Amino acid sequence: MSMENRKVRVRFAPSPTGPLHIGGVRTALYNYLFAKKHGGDFLLRIEDTDQDRFVPGAENYIIESLKWCGICPNEGVGFGDGHHAPYRQSERKPMYRAYAEQLIASGNAYYAFDTKEELDEMRKRMEVSGGTHAYNAITRQTMKNSLTLPEDDVKQRIEAGQAYVVRIKIPRNEEVRVLDLIRGWVIVQSSQMDDKVLFKSDGMPTYHLANIVDDYTMQITHVIRGEEWLPSAPLHVLLYRYLGWENVMPQFAHLPLLLKPDGNGKLSKRDGDRLGFPVFPLEWNDPATKEVSSGYRERGYFPDAFINMLALLGWHSSGNQELFTLEELVNEFSLERVSKAGAKFDPEKAKWFNQQYLRKRSDEELTELWMPELTEKGVKADQTYIRKAVHLIKEKGNFLHEFWSLGSYFFIAPEKYDADVMKKRWSEGSSKFIAELKGAFETMEGFSSATTEVQFKTTAEKMGIPPGQVMQLLRVCISGLGGGPALFGIIELLGKDEVVRRLEKMLDVK
RNA sequence: GGCCCGUUCGUCUAGGGGUUAGGACACCAGAUUUUCAUUCUGGUAACAGGGGUUCGAUUCCCCUACGGGCUACCA
């Protein structure tokens, strides 16, 4: 089958060594968008070839994160098997050895018996002499491997059960070219590469071998991954070549890294703790340290807002649009528009995205989302009333969890009054004004925002007080807070009886 | 150290051989006819430096600087 008419198939291939951080989520997102855009498949493969680094719960965390974000793979661990199961490399273990042996047979790989100590010693030696400390075309001649040892010695060692690894035999001096969809041609001299281990002494392949074998057998057409993989891309190209798969080798795209908001460097777990914003999509309880790391979900972010925010970190459409639904992202996405430079993460903009999505939610939907908290607080109000309150509150908040502190006064008369405003605005004549206003309100027939506002102003003017001087005071009497939605909208919704009661209460307190 | 990648407002970015270098976040100022945390309007603010190529470069090339990544029997 030629490359051109193959169905697009991409994969997200994390290692279950801990919670997925937002950089990983963005990689998954771009893979998802690319797949959907081209009517292709998006699969999840778990790269657990390093059994020492296995963290319980990490795999499930990855699956739950993708689900929460709404970017579900259509194939893979946790999402149903396709034709290429299993999708966990530990379960694919039996298939890798044959490929390592194929590479040995074709002269592109070899057995190496060096111990950890011998390797350390070699590296030290090379560093002293100023050279690179790599296992390569030069240094391998001085090491214990099937290139330097007699054939029967090698055979004997293997039969005796001596530990060995399989290393790729990188050519002495050859130009290796990788075409990256984001960066163009990247050219590396093989003299700068080293004989990476492909197959470990514990019987597992390393990432490099497993990755190539799986991408080939799973018919992956595009490898979209983080920039930290760019240096090993030439190695991967060589592996495709030596395995005889170069004609179906996937195309590569290395994504720019997500950088910490201050200073420089890759965004890490520590930055979140230090700067007070989540680095993970979901809250994570570390099973070993018992440490808890906060998540976007638990902080009250909407998944679509979170995804929208991540999509714009390293990618931009041709226009000025910044708010995209998932469907719009799918339509607009292209690797050509992914930027090359790393993107500093901005927690402030993340909040702004959530605010935008909060506003986009209907009053009905927000009411429904808020109901559990209201019920828990013992609020007994009818749906229409709550919906109207929500309508006023949502213009002032960024998160649903702020609603109660922003608008509890719609359900409970304030217990406390904003101290700053009281100090600044309460004066000798204030009681008189409140009493006067209460009386005026009581006599009103209707009680709309328009009529109460007129009543308020005439009362103030009658007493020779500029309305602006007592407006915020009235707000505090009604809500206890110094700021909030349009005041007379609140007054209308609360209704005459309640407003009068609250004015009375203020007079009692003062 | 070596190799690789990168560099437009503080941040995310658009743009591209001739532009008033555009948008968004943040910030500041006015307005919403007299409250505020919303909204609206406006403003401050950028092509890392040096050489080329060219009539002309921020845009193309080279060098330097700076930043980042990789350099494990980790992914």
For A138-186, how does the pLDDT look when each residue is reduced to its tens digit (9 = 90+)?
999 999 999 999 999 999 999 999 999 999 999 999 999 999 999 999 9
The complex's ipTM works out to: 0.95
- From residues 265-284 of A, which are strand B contacts by CB within 7 A? 265-266
Residue A131 pLDDT: 67
Cβ of A426 near strand B (distance < 7 A): no
Q: Could you give the angle at which helices A496-509 and A467-479 cross, rounded to 10 degrees?
A: 100
Rounded to whole angstroms, how far apart are CA atoms A291 and A28?
25
Determine whether A380 is an active site residue: no
Nearest CA-CA partner of A97 in A170, A166, A169: A166
Q: What amino acid occupies position A62?
A: I
Residue A4 pLDDT: 65
Q: CB–CB of A256/A343 below 8 Å?
A: yes
Rounded to whole angstroms, how far apart are CA atoms A292 and A286?
6
Given A37, A269, A351, A360, the catalytic residue = A269
The burial of A267, by beta-carbon neighbours within 10 Å (0-12 exposed, 13-18 middle, 19 or more buried), is given as buried
Q: Could you give the angle at which helices A383-393 and A487-494 cross, rounded to 10 degrees?
A: 170
pLDDT exceeds 60 at position A2? no
Residue A228's SS3 state is: helix
Kindly give, in sequence order, each residue whose CB lies less than 8 Å from that of residue A235, ignoring residues fewer than 6 positions away: A168, A170, A193, A196, A208
Cβ of A82 near strand B (distance < 7 A): no
State phi, psi for A256 to the nearest 5 degrees: -65, 155
Instruction: Please give the average per-residue pLDDT across A46-69, as a whole number.
Output: 96
Q: What percent of chain A has pLDDT over 90?
A: 83
Q: CB–CB of A380/A469 below 8 Å?
A: no
**A175-232 pLDDT tens trace:** 999 999 999 999 999 999 999 999 999 999 999 999 999 999 999 999 999 999 999 9
Q: CB–CB of A198/A109 below 8 Å?
A: yes
- What value does the mean pLDDT of chain A take? 93
Cβ of A318 near strand B (distance < 7 A): yes
Residue A279 pLDDT: 95
CA torsion sign, A69 to A74 to A77 to A79? positive
Give me the DSSP letters along A107-159: TSEEEE---HHHHHHHHHHHHHTTS----STTGGGGSSBTTTS-HHHHHHHHH
- From residues 353-372 of A, which are strand B contacts by CB within 7 A? 355
Rounded to whole angstroms, how far apart are CA atoms A229 and A463?
75
Distance A223 CA to B2 C1' (A): 27
Residue bearing tokens 């994160």: A65
Nucleotides of B under 7 A from a protein CB: 1-8, 10-15, 22-26, 34-39, 67-75
Q: Which nucleotide is closest to A346, CA to C1'?
A: B11
> pLDDT-derived band of residue A491, with 50, 70 and 90 as boundaries?
very high
- Overall pTM > 0.90: yes
The burial of A426, by beta-carbon neighbours within 10 Å (0-12 exposed, 13-18 middle, 19 or more buried), is given as middle
Helix, strand, coil % over all residues of chain A, rounded to 5: 50, 10, 40
